[in-house]
Chain A
Amino acid sequence: MPAKEDMQYDEQSQTETPVSPFGDGNSPSAELNPSPTAADATTSVSVSRDGERGAGAVADTGTPAVRLQDVSVSFRTRSGEVTALDGFNLTIGDGERVAIVGPSGCGKSTLLSLVAGLLPPDGGIVDVRREVALMPQRDLLVPWRSALRNAALALEAQGKPRAQAAERARPLFERFGLAGFEHARTWELSGGMRQRVAFLRTILTGRPLLALDEPFGALDAITRGEMHEWLEQALAAEPRTMLLVTHDVEEALTLAGRVVLMTRRPGKVAGEIAVDRPTGLSRAQWTTSREFSILKSQALAALR
């Protein structure tokens, strides 16, 4: 096994940036910057690697990271046409964290497919200007790879050598309570562990726009809390744009700055809740605060 230190020196010899909390080892500033060359073509997923801005800059500039305008998607099925999304509008600013909450089958996963550029809309405009790290609802771990190498698949897919990819995934394994399970086969993992491996795979892409489809749904409350804390810290250290799909209103109000509530199918925006979480408030303080419970009952009422 090659020495870990050698690898890191090798990778970071050009830019002297600290190791990213997302563990991707890429230069954060290059990854997070808006692309000055992004064309305003629809359904464009543009690459942004040039430009120099501080790692901590939360951009709130004119160009949003994601703009969906009057988007509709339907599927032709044996039982007729199913309209998943109809007249859906959503704009996500650069560095913004948006949670999507809505009833099952209202088109949340479809929405993420659109944003990830995997599905063309039947109508409307989809404009995405950041590279997307998609965490699909199903973990899609492959049984022929160990847990560690499943996470490393994100990097190997981008052409990184196998050993190097595994070495990058390793530290995150420890951080996510998966230490000791690096060589576990996928069927030896619990549902929650599988989900964390899939989450890791998403994080390792090093992409600036996280599109997470119920990332922590299979976790117990304590592990979920830990994952929330990690994600908050990571996002604070190195801001990214996040689009989070969840069933859990509390999770939405904890992680997002804005919660978008969706109607039943065909999915439309039913309402929005701005979450003004006071800075310096810990997770526990926030979730037990009066304001939090007001927002929560507002959200639940709107969903009803």
Chain B
Amino acid sequence: MIAPRESLSRPPAGRRMRKWLAPAAATLLLLAAWEAFVRAGLVDSLLVAGPGDVAQTLIDEFSMLARHTLATGREALLGLLLAFVLGIGAGLTLHVSPLLRDATLPLLVGTQAVPLVVLAPLLVIAFGYGITAKLVIVAIACFFPIAVGTFDGLRSCDPELLRLMRSLGAGRMRTLRLVELPGALPRVLGGVRIAATWAFISAVFAEYAGSTEGLGYLIARGTPLLETPRVYAAILILTAASLALWSAVAVVERRLIPWERRDSAH
């Protein structure tokens, strides 16, 4: 999918082929088994849809599914963006101010202890059925790994490097900008990658708690109506979207921090 044809002649091509081929083969095999299972009539086709039905639904209801996917995508990405800004801000603040760190760290950890399952409906009551409640829920879910990644990343700076900066005459802010922030990048992006896996799930979650559109809305409405192929299709899209977002972060990581994992096939 990513490997261009010319690259097949290069040595890592074999490894790359296997990297794509092996999971693709495994998935195909699983789908085939599933289809056979459904066709064999062992289960009620109303209750369990086969891959064929799901594929048919994806084609027939493309525009409807696309609309709901866009709605969920918007919530997930904007929520992630919000979490990114807040998470980096929080990580920076905790790093720079020991007073604020001591004062707010227990609170921050506390927010993570309240289960989102309980919180989501309450937030919908507070913010309504619009996008605001969704953004807040996604941001709460995604905020923590980014904040922790930023904080840890800033703290992980080599003390000798900090001493060197001091001897070069750099002050607090300049050291932060020239050395601590770039050095924190790997961990910040690691946090973003974890957050990215949460973004779509938490968006669906928020939709479950109350919404008028989105993949979560489709699933929540379709399940009791036994619209199984449509629900399966929505889940499939959700999975693909999460994977895509994860890969996008991985691509950004490779570009921004080539010194990490540079040994892996490039």
**Across the interface, do A144 and B168 meet the contact criterion of CB distance under 8 Å?**
no
CB-CB contacts below 8 Å: A133-149 with B: 134, 136, 138, 140, 142-145
Interface digits, A255-284 against B, CB 8 Å rule (1 contact, 0 not)? 000000000000000000000000000000
Interface string of A176-213 (1 = CB under 8 A from B): 00000000011100000000000000000100000000
The answer to whether A144 touches B174, judged by C-beta atoms less than 8 angstroms apart, is no
- How many interface residues does B have (CB within 8 Å)? 22
A51 to B264, CA, bound (A): 57
A140 touches B160 (CB 8 A): yes
Output the least CB separation between B262 and chain A (Å).
Answer: 7
Q: How large is the interface on A (under 10, 10 to 19, 20 to 34, 35 or more residues)?
A: 20 to 34
Instruction: Give the chain A neighbours of B169 by CB distance below 8 A.
Output: 157-158, 205
* Contact partners of B52 in chain A: CB under 8 A: none
Indicate if B257 sits at the interface (CB-CB under 8 A). Answer: yes
Does A222 make an interface contact (CB < 8 A)? no
Query: Which of A143, A153, A157, A186 has the most chain B CB within a 10 Å cutoff?
Result: A157
Known: A132-B167, A185-B259, A186-B259. A157 touches B161 (CB 8 A): no
What residue of chain B has the Cβ atom nearest to residue A198's Cβ? B164
Asked if B158 is an interface residue, CB under 8 A from chain A, the answer is yes
**Which A residues touch B164, using CB under 8 A?**
134, 136, 140
Partner of A158, one of B170, B183, B185, B259: B170
B165 with A136: CB separation less than 8 A:
no
Inter-chain contacts of B183 with A (CB < 8 A): 142, 144
Q: Indicate whether A144 sits within 8 Å of B160 (C-beta atoms), given known contacts A157-B169, A205-B168.
A: no
A154 near B161 with CB under 8 A, answer no
Q: Is B179 an interface residue (CB 8 A)?
A: yes
Cβ of A65 within 8 Å of any chain B Cβ, yes or no, is: no
Describe A's contact surface by its main secondary structure: loop
Cβ A144 vs Cβ B257 within 8 A: yes
In the complex, which residues 169-183 of chain B have their Cβ closer than 8 Å to any Cβ of chain A? 169-170, 174-175, 178-179, 182-183
In the complex, A138→B163 CA distance in Å?
Answer: 12
Contact B161 A143 (CB under 8 A): no
Residues of chain B with a CB closer than 8 A to A157's CB = 165, 168-170, 174-175, 178
- Which residues 222-258 of B sit at the A interface, judged by CB distance below 8 A? 257-258
User: What's the minimum C-beta distance from A117 to chain B, rounded to whole angstroms?
Assistant: 7
- Tell me the smallest distance from the CB of B177 to a CB of chain A, in Å: 9
Q: Which of B158, B166, B170, B262 is the one whose CB lies under 8 Å from A118?
A: B166
> Which residues of chain B come closer than 8 Å to A145, judged between CB atoms?
182
Query: For residue B166, which residues in chain A have a CB less than 8 angstroms away from its CB?
Result: 118
- A143, B259: Cβ atoms closer than 8 Å: yes
Find chain B residues with CB under 8 A from A205 CB: 168-169
Contacting residues, chain B, for A136 (C-beta < 8 A): 160, 163-164
Contact B168 A142 (CB under 8 A): no
A118 vs B169: C-alpha distance when bound (angstroms): 11
Known pairs A157-B174, A158-B170, A205-B168; A140 contacts B161 (CB<8 A): yes
- Cα distance A132–B183 when bound, in Å? 25
A24 is an interface residue with CB less than 8 A from chain B? no
Whether B160 contacts A142 by the Cβ 8 Å rule is no
Contact of A140 among B158, B174, B258 (CB under 8 A): B158
Instruction: Given contact pairs A157-B170, A157-B174, A158-B168, enumerate 20 new A-B contacts (beta carbons under 8 Å).
Output: A117-B167, A118-B163, A132-B167, A136-B163, A140-B158, A140-B164, A142-B179, A142-B182, A143-B259, A144-B183, A144-B257, A144-B259, A153-B178, A156-B174, A156-B178, A157-B175, A157-B178, A158-B169, A205-B168, A205-B169
Q: Could you write out 29 A-B pairs with CB less than 8 Å apart? A: A113-B163, A116-B167, A117-B167, A118-B163, A132-B167, A134-B167, A136-B160, A136-B163, A140-B158, A140-B160, A140-B161, A140-B164, A142-B161, A142-B179, A144-B182, A144-B259, A145-B182, A153-B178, A154-B168, A156-B174, A157-B165, A157-B168, A157-B170, A157-B178, A158-B170, A185-B258, A185-B259, A186-B259, A187-B262
